[in-house]
Protein backbone atom coordinates (compact mmCIF):
# COMPACT_ATOMS: atom_id res chain seq x y z
CA UNK A 1 0.00 0.00 0.00
CA UNK A 2 2.75 2.42 0.90
CA UNK A 3 4.09 2.25 -2.60
CA UNK A 4 0.88 3.94 -3.81
CA UNK A 5 1.80 6.97 -1.76
CA UNK A 6 5.22 6.83 -3.31
CA UNK A 7 3.86 6.87 -6.83
CA UNK A 8 1.79 9.93 -5.99
CA UNK A 9 4.84 11.53 -4.47
CA UNK A 10 6.88 10.79 -7.56
CA UNK A 11 4.21 12.23 -9.80
CA UNK A 12 4.27 15.56 -8.02
CA UNK A 13 8.06 15.64 -7.82
CA UNK A 14 10.38 16.75 -10.55
CA UNK A 15 10.14 13.46 -12.35
CA UNK A 16 11.65 13.28 -15.79
CA UNK A 17 10.77 10.65 -18.27
CA UNK A 18 13.22 9.29 -20.78
CA UNK A 19 12.25 7.52 -23.96
CA UNK A 20 11.22 4.06 -22.85
CA UNK A 21 13.75 1.25 -22.80
CA UNK A 22 12.03 -1.45 -24.81
CA UNK A 23 8.55 -1.05 -23.35
CA UNK A 24 9.73 -0.14 -19.87
CA UNK A 25 9.65 3.29 -18.34
CA UNK A 26 12.75 4.99 -17.08
CA UNK A 27 12.78 8.23 -15.16
CA UNK A 28 14.77 9.99 -12.53
CA UNK A 29 13.82 12.10 -9.58
CA UNK A 30 15.57 14.73 -7.50
CA UNK A 31 14.31 17.18 -4.94
CA UNK A 32 16.77 19.66 -6.41
CA UNK A 33 15.71 19.41 -10.03
CA UNK A 34 13.37 22.10 -11.25
CA UNK A 35 10.77 21.28 -13.84
CA UNK A 36 11.90 22.21 -17.32
CA UNK A 37 15.56 22.43 -16.39
CA UNK A 38 18.21 19.99 -17.51
CA UNK A 39 19.34 17.22 -15.21
CA UNK A 40 22.48 17.73 -13.16
CA UNK A 41 25.67 16.19 -14.58
CA UNK A 42 25.70 13.81 -11.62
CA UNK A 43 22.17 12.65 -12.35
CA UNK A 44 22.99 12.13 -16.02
CA UNK A 45 26.12 10.14 -15.17
CA UNK A 46 24.10 7.90 -12.84
CA UNK A 47 21.37 7.46 -15.46
CA UNK A 48 23.86 6.56 -18.18
CA UNK A 49 25.55 3.98 -15.99
CA UNK A 50 22.21 2.54 -14.92
CA UNK A 51 21.04 2.19 -18.54
CA UNK A 52 24.26 0.46 -19.48
CA UNK A 53 23.96 -2.06 -16.64
CA UNK A 54 20.25 -2.56 -17.22
CA UNK A 55 20.87 -3.58 -20.80
CA UNK A 56 23.70 -5.92 -19.71
CA UNK A 57 21.42 -7.99 -17.45
CA UNK A 58 18.15 -9.84 -17.95
CA UNK A 59 15.31 -7.35 -17.66
CA UNK A 60 11.58 -7.33 -18.40
CA UNK A 61 10.46 -6.85 -21.98
CA UNK A 62 7.75 -4.42 -20.99
CA UNK A 63 5.65 -2.85 -18.29
CA UNK A 64 8.23 -2.10 -15.62
CA UNK A 65 9.03 1.34 -14.18
CA UNK A 66 12.60 2.13 -13.18
CA UNK A 67 13.14 5.27 -11.17
CA UNK A 68 16.63 6.51 -10.48
CA UNK A 69 16.85 8.63 -7.36
CA UNK A 70 19.65 11.08 -8.11
CA UNK A 71 20.90 12.18 -4.71
CA UNK A 72 20.85 10.94 -1.15
CA UNK A 73 18.71 13.78 0.20
CA UNK A 74 15.98 12.72 -2.21
CA UNK A 75 16.64 9.06 -1.40
CA UNK A 76 16.10 9.67 2.34
CA UNK A 77 12.99 11.65 1.48
CA UNK A 78 11.66 8.73 -0.61
CA UNK A 79 12.53 6.23 2.14
CA UNK A 80 10.61 8.33 4.67
CA UNK A 81 7.63 8.48 2.30
CA UNK A 82 7.46 4.71 2.02
CA UNK A 83 8.09 4.18 5.71
CA UNK A 84 11.53 2.62 5.40
CA UNK A 85 13.68 5.39 6.81
CA UNK A 86 14.21 3.49 10.09
CA UNK A 87 15.24 0.26 8.43
CA UNK A 88 18.60 -0.99 9.56
CA UNK A 89 21.34 -1.30 6.98
CA UNK A 90 22.17 0.41 3.74
CA UNK A 91 19.59 0.42 1.00
CA UNK A 92 20.77 0.48 -2.58
CA UNK A 93 17.48 -0.05 -4.28
CA UNK A 94 13.90 -1.11 -3.69
CA UNK A 95 11.67 -3.21 -5.87
CA UNK A 96 7.92 -3.40 -5.55
CA UNK A 97 6.80 -6.44 -7.47
CA UNK A 98 3.08 -5.78 -7.26
CA UNK A 99 3.32 -2.28 -8.65
CA UNK A 100 6.15 -3.14 -11.05
CA UNK A 101 8.37 -0.39 -9.77
CA UNK A 102 12.08 -0.37 -9.01
CA UNK A 103 13.89 2.47 -7.29
CA UNK A 104 17.64 2.77 -7.63
CA UNK A 105 19.84 4.85 -5.33
CA UNK A 106 21.89 6.66 -7.94
CA UNK A 107 24.75 7.84 -5.75
CA UNK A 108 25.67 4.24 -4.97
CA UNK A 109 26.21 3.58 -8.67
CA UNK A 110 28.70 6.35 -9.35
CA UNK A 111 30.27 6.37 -5.87
CA UNK A 112 30.21 2.70 -5.01
CA UNK A 113 30.59 1.41 -1.48
CA UNK A 114 33.42 -1.01 -0.85
CA UNK A 115 32.38 -4.46 -2.02
CA UNK A 116 29.17 -3.25 -3.63
CA UNK A 117 29.92 -2.56 -7.30
CA UNK A 118 27.16 -0.84 -9.27
CA UNK A 119 26.47 -3.95 -11.30
CA UNK A 120 25.68 -5.84 -8.12
CA UNK A 121 23.03 -3.27 -7.19
CA UNK A 122 21.41 -3.44 -10.62
CA UNK A 123 21.69 -7.24 -10.94
CA UNK A 124 20.17 -7.65 -7.47
CA UNK A 125 17.12 -5.50 -8.20
CA UNK A 126 16.70 -7.15 -11.62
CA UNK A 127 16.76 -10.56 -9.93
CA UNK A 128 13.88 -9.41 -7.71
CA UNK A 129 12.09 -8.35 -10.88
CA UNK A 130 12.78 -11.39 -13.03
CA UNK A 131 12.19 -13.97 -10.28
CA UNK A 132 9.24 -12.03 -8.87
CA UNK A 133 10.81 -12.89 -5.55
CA UNK A 134 11.37 -11.18 -2.22
CA UNK A 135 13.61 -13.98 -0.99
CA UNK A 136 16.91 -12.11 -0.54
CA UNK A 137 19.05 -15.27 -0.52
CA UNK A 138 17.49 -16.57 -3.72
CA UNK A 139 17.74 -13.14 -5.35
CA UNK A 140 21.40 -12.79 -4.41
CA UNK A 141 22.20 -16.25 -5.81
CA UNK A 142 20.61 -15.27 -9.12
CA UNK A 143 22.36 -11.90 -9.21
CA UNK A 144 25.77 -13.47 -8.57
CA UNK A 145 25.14 -16.16 -11.17
CA UNK A 146 24.37 -13.46 -13.77
CA UNK A 147 27.44 -11.47 -12.76
CA UNK A 148 29.65 -14.57 -13.06
CA UNK A 149 28.10 -15.32 -16.46
CA UNK A 150 28.77 -11.77 -17.64
CA UNK A 151 32.40 -12.04 -16.57
CA UNK A 152 33.07 -15.25 -18.42
CA UNK A 153 31.73 -17.74 -15.92
CA UNK A 154 34.38 -17.11 -13.30
CA UNK A 155 32.70 -16.61 -9.95
CA UNK A 156 34.16 -13.84 -7.82
CA UNK A 157 36.22 -15.07 -4.91
CA UNK A 158 34.24 -15.85 -1.81
CA UNK A 159 31.01 -16.12 -3.73
CA UNK A 160 29.56 -19.53 -4.24
CA UNK A 161 27.84 -20.07 -7.56
CA UNK A 162 26.30 -23.41 -8.31
CA UNK A 163 26.63 -24.74 -11.82
CA UNK A 164 24.09 -27.25 -12.96
CA UNK A 165 25.16 -29.40 -15.82
CA UNK A 166 22.76 -30.84 -18.35
CA UNK A 167 21.05 -34.01 -17.26
* H or E element in which residue 140 lies: helix 136-150
Residue with smaller CB distance to Zn ion, 87 or 111: 87
Residue with smaller CB distance to Zn ion, 87 or 136: 136
Residues near Zn ion (CB under 5 A), total = 1
Whole-angstrom Cα distance, residue 74 to residue 66?
16
Residue with smaller CB distance to Zn ion, 40 or 141: 141
CA 118 to chain centre: 9
Number of other CB atoms surrounding residue 83 within 10 Å: 13
Pairing of strands 62-69, 93-96: unpaired
Residue 33 CB, nearest approach to Zn ion (Å): 27
Whether the Cβ atoms of residue 156 and residue 144 lie closer than 8 Å to each other = yes
Binding mask 66-85 for Zn ion (x = CB under 5 A): --------------------
Name which of 68, 77, 81, 66 is nearest 31 in CA terms: 77
Q: List binders of Zn ion among 83-142 (CB under 5 A).
A: 136
Residue 39 CB, nearest approach to Zn ion (Å): 27
Whether the Cβ atoms of residue 5 and residue 81 lie closer than 8 Å to each other = yes
Residue 128 CB, nearest approach to Zn ion (Å): 6
Residue with smaller CB distance to Zn ion, 39 or 78: 78
Q: Compute the C-alpha angle 40/44/45, nearest 5°.
A: 115
Residue with smaller CB distance to Zn ion, 86 or 90: 90
Question: Residue with the closest Cβ to Zn ion?
Answer: 136
Residue 24 CB, nearest approach to Zn ion (Å): 19
Interface positions with Zn ion (CB under 5 A)? 136
Amino acid sequence: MRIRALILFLLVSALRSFPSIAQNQFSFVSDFAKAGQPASPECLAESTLFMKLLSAYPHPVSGWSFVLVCDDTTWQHVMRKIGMADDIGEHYGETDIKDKLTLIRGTKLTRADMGVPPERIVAHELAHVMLRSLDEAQVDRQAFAWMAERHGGVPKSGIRVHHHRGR
